[in-house]
Structure 1
């Protein structure tokens, strides 16, 4: 009987330029599809009924379970404008730049699992489009903002919703307004209850008030965005993806704890800037979970396909994902190894691929 041999299992070679093209093409398609729903397709009379009433549903649910405190949390910090400005910048930059940095880091440091995490990110983002399409949601900051076309108040406010009121463009009305102030609602607190100086819902559009990397109501941003793409929150989905994907690269538990603060900070950010409800964040976590299952499944299917193609018989059952293995190590009291710098230099859990991110070796069954 001969000893065990190693047989190369050919994986798709990873090329940075190819991955960059894939990401760019995917994001362009994703953005185009996302923008076919919501704020770009509101009713001709300028009344964003669906997005507003979906926000009412979220508010009613959150009130029922005791979650609806977003406006009170925002009110605590509104007087600290420098603090709010920081979170405005965070909201408009970290979402893209941190995700891109983690994507690049995985490509160079975790090439063995990079396809799995890339597929997870793509699947999660694609799933979000389903939410945007079937549940357009007006974010809190727009609930008291002007409607896209300001309508003259009829004697009976319900006439607007029934189509009996002719829309009249008021002086100063713009096509970059996407609010729901013209939609009657029994959820508006009224004069007996005010938040942030308003007798409406009381949320403040902090980017509009204090500034940020861009303005949501600018014609340029309005033309390329969907103001009602709030459920699920991809800020939460992407930030969770970043934290969990980076987890195996960090050896010290203190760093693992710190990286988990990123999605926590992001959750605070989307609330204090009134861009999302709590429920949107939960939706983002669900999208991440489903995207992880899909991404991992695609990765395993592709590995099994390559094994069969090269006649390799797996020597063990399906392995736990790298993230699960790392978490298990921590829970079971695995060594708290040296410092993070060493990990960044040698970060793989399994044997790494060769330098061109190409072949890996697997053990074939013993020949008889």
Structure 2
């Protein structure tokens, strides 16, 4: 597993890693429009969407997955609760992801690059599935016996006639991008922050899962496929480095730094001097799983290459055990 290079969570953002703002705005807007028009292009496959819905419902029962109605019944005990779930479904998905990207762009530029790439590739992969496997959501499937909570209790983002809905493709249930995006947001914030409670960001995808199932907008399998796609994507693209509670980055399973190296870092920090700088530090840490040396970089795949450790044209001076040049 490769790890993407990101700036330490306890330091100021590396502005050199921040992409040009206008370019990013145009890129993100272009990706959003491509996604919206792509979903609309998948409209119209009504018969196929309902046939696939019957197959998914039967597969879930064969796998002994819990019925979606179990979650919906819990929500329907309170009109306030079901209204809150509908509101969460309709209003949190896009704004939360947008705020996540804006904050990363300003405060954690390297994390931003990783997150934007992962979100873009995940969305493109989902769009392909929407095109080749149109799927009616469980709220439309009569055999499921579920309530269309958005239409009954409100609010809803969908029209009453799914086949002619010009605002959204209602037959694009699999995979659930609500769940996929929420999980990317949670992982990105856990990697980019250093609070001891940062694991609580996982409540966002957990709550999103309960909402999309309880409102009958998605099947369990929609969420499972989204998580599976993201897992494959992370295996290809690599993970960011996750900081310890104190802010220092760590790679799961990696051996701790030697004592003399930790002492050297402590002395450097007490003098206000960064303990590691430039490509040499990245090579020493083994960023991105890349081999040390000029031109080393993390594996380049569909997510694009990470910034390489560039040669400076000068030979590094030999150093002693504390990292001081001799």
TM-score, reference length from structure 1: 0.61
Q: Which runs of 5+ in 2 are unaligned?
A: 1-14, 244-248, 257-275, 279-306, 318-326
Structure 1 residue 264: Cα displacement: 0.4
CA deviation map 1:136-180 (0-9, x unaligned):
111011113xxxxxxxxxxxxxxxxxxxxxxxxxxxxxxxxxxxx
1:243 aligns with 2:202: no
Spell out, residue by residue over 1:17-70, the C-alpha distance to the aligned partner (whole angstroms, 9 max, x if none).
Answer: 221111111111111112111xx223xxxxx32111211111111111210411
Alignment correspondent of 1:41: 44
Q: Which residue of 2 aligns with 1:270?
A: 212
Partners of 1:121 and 1:291 within 8 A in 2? no
Decide whether aligned partners of structure 1 residues 70 and 326 sit closer, same or farther in structure 2, where only a CA change above 3 A counts.
Answer: farther
Give the drift of 1:74: 1.0
Q: For residue 203 of structure 2, what is the aligned residue in structure 1? A: 261
Given that 2:158 and 2:168 are in contact with CA atoms closer than 8 Å, whether structure 1 keeps it comes out as no
**Whole-Å separation in 2 of the counterparts to 1:140 and 1:232:** 13
Aligned mates of 2:277, 2:216 — CA distance in 1: 45
Aligned length: 249
**Larger relative CO (CA 8 A, sep 6+): 1 or 2?**
1
Give the alignment partner of residue 252 of structure 2, picking from 328, 336, 341. 328
Write out aligned runs for 1:89-238 (5 A): 89-144=87-142, 188=143, 201-212=144-155, 214-217=157-160, 222-238=165-181
Cα offset for 1:257?
2.2
Match of 2:23 among 5, 18, 21: 18
Counterpart in 2 of 1:291?
233
Q: CA RMSD in A?
A: 3.1
- For residues 27-106 of structure 1, what are the structure 2 equivalents within 5 Å? 27-37=32-42, 40-42=43-45, 48-106=46-104
CA distance in 1, matches of 2:234, 2:209: 20
Unaligned runs of 5+ in 1: 1-9, 43-47, 145-187, 189-200, 297-319, 333-349, 353-358
Instruction: Tell whether the 8 Å contact from 1:120 to 1:294 is kept in structure 2 after alignment.
Output: no
Structure 1 runs of 4+ with >6 Å offset: 329-332, 359-363
Per-residue deviation, 1:13: 5.6
- 1:309 is matched with which residue? none
Cα gap change, 1:295 to 1:216, in 2 (>3 Å): farther
Tell me the TM-score normalized by structure 2. 0.68
Question: How many Å separate the matches in 2 of 1:331 and 1:247?
Answer: 21
Secondary structure of 2:166's partner? helix
SS at match of 2:165: helix
Contact 2:105 2:112 in 1 (8 A): yes
Contact 2:53 2:135 in 1 (8 A): yes
> Judging changes above 3 Å, is the alpha-carbon distance between structure 1 residues 56 and 288 closer, same or farther for their aligned structure 2 residues?
same
- Change beyond 3 A, Cα 1:110–1:329: farther
Contact kept? 2:18, 2:105, Cα under 8 Å: no
